[in-house]
């Protein structure tokens, strides 16, 4: 006769406590993190770069409200990770990339849920960057990757290295996308 080591009805010892069974304890933040957040230049970056990042992302994704929400979300995430983000050469590049990724995720979710969502008019929360409607139309007709590079290079006046960091691409790719985008803009706008 065989001996069964774990009969069907036997209870195994619990490896994890059920949710809610742990006592509420305050979370301790290491002093190094608190010090870097309180003595950082986060507020200065927020004051100086927030509106510019919103406008740049708004041009890149053609949605003012989503750009505002995405940049605010990225600043919130940057604040929580400021001990790391604040040490970057270009913290604004990290914030832009985070905002762009968050907005892309929202676009994907919207496209999945489009058939269920009601159509709502977009609020105009950000003042237009360009008074030239032909330029705005030409920019919006460019592919996303080319439009992003142009906005970061010529609107925010970032270096090629900062753009490469923000978009997570190589500096050579930044140069080639910029070149292709400028040729396409020249073709669309003519020799004005």
CATH number at residue 76: 1.20.140.160
Structural domain including 109 reads: 42-114+130-189
Domain assignment of residue 22, yes or no: no
Tell me which of 63 and 96 has the higher pLDDT: 96
Pairwise CA distance, residues 79 & 82, whole Å: 5
pLDDT at 83 over 60: yes
- 124 contacts 64 by C-beta, under 8 angstroms: yes
Domain assignment of residue 20, yes or no: no
Pairwise CA distance, residues 18 & 191, whole Å: 69
Confidence of residue 173 (pLDDT cuts 50, 70, 90): very high
Q: Which two tokens stand for residue 104?
A: 């892309």
Pairwise CA distance, residues 12 & 89, whole Å: 52
Instruction: Determine the distance from the C-alpha atom of residue 189 to the mean position of all C-alpha atoms in its chain, rounded to a whole number.
Output: 30
Percent of the chain predicted with pLDDT > 90: 31
pLDDT at 131 over 70: no
- 57 contacts 67 by C-beta, under 8 angstroms: yes
Domain assignment of residue 81, yes or no: yes
Domain assignment of residue 58, yes or no: yes
Domain assignment of residue 121, yes or no: no
- 151 contacts 144 by C-beta, under 8 angstroms: no
Q: What is the pLDDT of residue 115?
A: 53
Domain assignment of residue 54, yes or no: yes
b/e burial code for range 108-136 (CB count within 10 A of at least 16 → b): eeeeeeeeeeeeeeeeeebeebeeeeeee
Average pLDDT over residues 142-169: 89
C-alpha pair distances (Å), 103 with each of 63, 109, 147, 162, 170: 9, 10, 15, 20, 22
Domain assignment of residue 50, yes or no: yes
Average pLDDT over residues 89-114: 84
Domain assignment of residue 119, yes or no: no
E-strand stretches of 56-192? none
Tell me, letter by letter, the H, E, C secondary structure of 151-164. Answer: HHHHHCCCCHHHHH
Summarised one tens digit per residue, pLDDT across range 2-59 is 444 444 544 544 444 444 444 444 444 445 544 544 445 888 899 999 999 999 999 8
How many domains, the chain?
Answer: 1
Side-chain half-sphere exposure of 192, counting CA atoms within 13 A = 9
């Amino acid at each position: 006769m065989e001996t069964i080591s774990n009969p069907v009805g036997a209870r195994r010892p619990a490896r994890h406590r059920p949710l809610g069974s742990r006592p509420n304890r305050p979370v301790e933040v290491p002093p190094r993190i608190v010090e870097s957040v309180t003595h950082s230049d986060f507020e200065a970056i927020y004051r100086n770069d927030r509106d510019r990042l919103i406008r740049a992302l708004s041009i890149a994704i053609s949605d003012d409200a989503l750009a505002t929400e995405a940049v605010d979300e990225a600043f919130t995430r940057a604040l929580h990770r400021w001990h790391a983000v604040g040490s970057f050469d270009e913290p604004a590049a990290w914030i832009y990339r985070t905002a762009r990724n968050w907005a892309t995720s929202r676009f994907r979710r919207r496209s999945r849920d489009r058939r269920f969502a009601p159509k709502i008019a977009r609020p105009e929360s950000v003042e237009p960057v360009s008074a030239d409607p032909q330029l705005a139309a030409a920019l919006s007709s460019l592919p996303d990757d080319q439009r992003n590079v142009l906005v970061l290079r010529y609107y925010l006046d970032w270096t090629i290295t900062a753009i490469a960091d923000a978009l997570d691409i190589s500096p050579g790719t930044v140069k080639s996308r910029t070149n292709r985008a400028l040729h396409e803009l020249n073709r669309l706008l003519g020799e004005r």
